[in-house]
A = this chain, B = another copy of it.
């Protein structure tokens, strides 16, 4: 079941890679996010509901404009950007070890421009490749899962001191 999900997700990525979709908007992949504030890391393994689409090690960063809001639990000012650097992982001697990048995903705040999706724009690039955006319908592909986190301004990550 998981394998079928993974396979279909992989084929989906391949199809999009061959016939690039137009991005939903003009969000560009950020650079330098590994120097941003490291918010937390989470691993979605095979049994996780995230696994089919977003399985792997999620390294989450926030641009400095949003750092104070993160520490308060939101709401976030415009221009806040979260980046999730999604990596493969391997398990060896019961250690979970980071592997190659699978994707780069971002949320960027613009309360007017993205009013229909909680004030956030979303994009995900397969392999982190600017030519491989995967989000064509942010409301369905992204915001639907973020909506339950309304009291944290739609952000799953919380500040861990």
A-to-B contact residues, CB < 8 Å: 34-38, 40-51, 57, 59, 61, 87, 93-101, 160-161
Contacts and interface: CB of A to CB of B under 8 A. Distances in A.
Contacts of A38: 34, 38, 59, 61
Given A44-B94, A48-B94, A94-B51, A99 B35 contact: no
Nearest to A157: B98
A98 B35 contact: no
Given A42-B95, A42-B98, 16 more contacts: A35-B37, A38-B38, A41-B57, A41-B59, A43-B96, A45-B94, A46-B94, A48-B93, A48-B95, A49-B93, A87-B160, A99-B160, A100-B160, A100-B161, A101-B160, A101-B161
Contacts of A41: 41, 57, 59, 98
User: Which of A36, A38, A87 has the largest count of B CB atoms less than 10 A from its CB?
Assistant: A38
A98 B40 contact: yes
A45 B99 CA distance: 17
A40 to B, nearest CB: 5
25 contacts: A35-B36, A35-B37, A38-B59, A40-B98, A41-B98, A42-B96, A42-B98, A43-B43, A43-B95, A44-B94, A44-B95, A45-B94, A45-B95, A46-B94, A48-B93, A48-B94, A48-B95, A49-B93, A51-B94, A87-B160, A98-B160, A99-B160, A100-B160, A100-B161, A101-B160
Contact of A42 (B44, B48, B97): B97
User: Which of A45, A50, A97, A160 has the largest count of B CB atoms less than 10 A from its CB?
Assistant: A160
